[in-house]
A = this chain, B = another copy of it.
Amino acid sequence: MCLSDSHLNILKDLSGPKGWQDDPREMSAYLTEPRGKYQGKTALVLLPDNTQKVADIVRYCAQHKIAIVPQSGNTGLVGGSIPTLAGDQVLISLKRMNRMRHTDPDNQSMTVEAGCILADVQQRARDIDCIFPLSLAAEGSCMIGGNLSTNAGGVNVLHYGNARNLLLGLEVVLPSGEIWHGLTGLRKDNTGYDLKQLFIGAEGTLGIITAATLKLSPYPHQKQTAFVAVPDPKSAVELLSIARRVSGGCITAFELVPRRGLEMVTHHMPGCRDPLETAYDWYVLLETTSSLNRDLLDLERVMERILEDALKKDLVLDGVIAKNDSESEALWGLREHLSEAQKHEGGSIKHDISVAISTIPEFLLKAADIVEALIPGARPVPFGHLGDGNLHYNVSQPREMAKSDFLERWEDLNRHIHDLVKDFHGSFSAEHGIGRMKTTDMARYKSSVELGMMRRIKAALDPEDIMNPGVILPAEISQEKA
């Protein structure tokens, strides 16, 4: 179906003055995403500035079976916030819903609207000497509604958990246009099904998150960052166990970096240098943080103890501890520039996988064999959140291969790596979600029992399939009524 002028005019009215955009040049920023993999079309971008307007728009769309794509910061990597090319979907941007409604220091919570930028939320928490610990590369532009709708991960999951663990309550506009007033600062509430869980990670397919009550923690004023060489991934896993135990839960980041990745970063990224004199095969970036005063807990001694214990067991070969914030930032740079550095080495085929932490060493061996058998000379650069069992298993092209030839193998390599992940009972999308990119993986790797449950839940809450159709569940699956 096509959107009639009558529909468009009514929707504009519902969204109010300044509440819409239909100039193609102005709309273009909403219709493509950071990596440029997805381009969409729409006749209208709606920009409502309060929850009631969102509800009025959704109710009208439900009555007229108009499909909706919700969008906040539009920083997702899987095309979940981009309409299809059919042009028959309206896009609702939450960016004008950016009020911070309430801060409650004694409850360690704050209530913010979906369009608040993550960095602004972090800063507001910081203003009351607290931390909202969700932290990821896009934090300067991503918005809290999208963070929750995708159950965002990032660099602090090891200690604080995913976005799901940082949430106390939600306000949601349902596919019917009803508003669910689920904002609450409660830590405990066992009155029936925990409805908020449904909307976290649902990527806008079950409703539109308009506001959230977030959980804060005391700000950790102490920090220690170390970058250490380890003999192999197995040693890294054992080092993690020691670090968790010795640090008393102060370990907040534990990132794996392979030699190949470090070389790409030091070679291509200005100002990045190898902090160790000798070359080693594998590295771990680990960080401890604490809100304890230094006279009660000296994190420098904690880090030294972790490394001493690990050295005794030959789990660590060499290492450096940052003496100050700028040294810490330099060490983090080695980790954070990995994706960017890979671009200088030609094409890169990416995976965002997780397995049980204990099985990472075996997974890495088998995955490397698969890559070599499939594309001889291709160079795996597995890196990332080992502490969460989550690796970005990126593979750089063979040096002598044409980039386009290599990138044509994207789906083939994904298939083989994800098949291996399935053998390990792992996840083919640990933190990036499904969007439009991985719906075929859903069909391949999820059991019929799981898909059946998801399909029934989708049909129960969105019987007309108007909420972000085609995202998470392939169109033919979500449209088939359970």
Find the residue from A161, A206, A433, A453 having the highest chain B CB count within 10 A: A453
Whether A356 lies near B104 (C-beta < 8 A) is yes
- What residues of B have a CB within 8 angstroms of the CB of A220 in the complex? 248
Residue A9, interface by CB 8 Å: no
- What residues of B have a CB within 8 angstroms of the CB of A179 in the complex? 449
Within 8 A of B (CB), among A104-137: 104-109, 129
Contact status of A238 and B189, CB under 8 A, knowing A293-B246, A482-B460: no
Contact status of A390 and B195, CB under 8 A, knowing A245-B291, A296-B301: no
Contact status of A291 and B151, CB under 8 A, knowing A187-B389, A430-B186, A454-B195: no
- What residues of B have a CB within 8 angstroms of the CB of A452 in the complex? 178
Whether A107 lies near B356 (C-beta < 8 A) is yes
Q: Chain B nearest CB: distance from A66 CB in Å?
A: 22
Whether A218 lies near B244 (C-beta < 8 A) is yes
Interface-side segment among A19-27, A87-95, A196-204, A402-410? A196-204
- What residues of B have a CB within 8 angstroms of the CB of A174 in the complex? 449, 453
With A and B bound together, what is the CA distance between A189 and B192 in angstroms? Answer: 25
- What residues of B have a CB within 8 angstroms of the CB of A335 in the complex? none
Residue A456, interface by CB 8 Å: yes
Choose among B183, B191, B240, B296 the residue that contacts A429 (Cβ–Cβ < 8 A). Answer: B191
With A and B bound together, what is the CA distance between A429 and B452 in angstroms? Answer: 31
Residue A317, interface by CB 8 Å: no
Whether B249 lies near A249 (C-beta < 8 A) is yes
Q: Report how many copies the assembly holds.
A: 2
Within 8 A of B (CB), among A241-266: 241, 244-250
Query: Per-position contact with B for A163-179: 1 when CB-CB < 8 Å, else 0?
Result: 01100000000100011
Q: Chain B nearest CB: distance from A3 CB in Å?
A: 28
With A and B bound together, what is the CA distance between A432 and B429 in angstroms? Answer: 35
Whether B432 lies near A190 (C-beta < 8 A) is yes
Chain B residue with Cβ nearest A238: B106
Within 8 A of B (CB), among A209-241: 217-218, 220, 237-238, 240-241
Choose among B108, B184, B297, B305 the residue that contacts A244 (Cβ–Cβ < 8 A). Answer: B108
Whether A449 lies near B191 (C-beta < 8 A) is no
- What residues of B have a CB within 8 angstroms of the CB of A105 in the complex? 241, 358
Whether B197 lies near A198 (C-beta < 8 A) is yes
Residue A180, interface by CB 8 Å: yes
Whether B389 lies near A150 (C-beta < 8 A) is no
- What residues of B have a CB within 8 angstroms of the CB of A371 in the complex? none
Within 8 A of B (CB), among A441-482: 441-442, 445-447, 449-450, 452-454, 456-457, 459-461, 472-473, 482
Residue A70, interface by CB 8 Å: no
Residue A354, interface by CB 8 Å: yes
Choose among B183, B250, B358 the residue that contacts A107 (Cβ–Cβ < 8 A). Answer: B358
Find the residue from A245, A247, A290, A431 having the highest chain B CB count within 10 A: A245
Whether B450 lies near A460 (C-beta < 8 A) is no
- What residues of B have a CB within 8 angstroms of the CB of A246 in the complex? 292-293, 296
Residue A208, interface by CB 8 Å: no
Whether B249 lies near A218 (C-beta < 8 A) is yes
Whether B460 lies near A456 (C-beta < 8 A) is yes
Interface-side segment among A34-42, A319-327, A420-428? A420-428
| Contacts beyond the supplied A193-B453, A246-B293, A292-B302: 15 A-B pairs with Cβ under 8 Å | A150-B190, A153-B188, A183-B425, A184-B425, A185-B356, A186-B355, A189-B429, A190-B432, A190-B433, A191-B429, A191-B445, A192-B442, A197-B198, A218-B245, A248-B290
Q: Which 6 A-B pairs have the closest CB atoms?
A: A248-B292, A197-B197, A106-B358, A460-B460, A189-B427, A185-B356
Show 19 residue pairs from A and B whose CB-CB distance is below 8 angstroms, ordered by the A residue: A104-B358, A106-B238, A109-B356, A157-B187, A161-B165, A181-B447, A182-B450, A183-B425, A184-B425, A187-B389, A193-B454, A193-B457, A197-B197, A217-B249, A220-B248, A248-B296, A248-B297, A456-B460, A459-B460
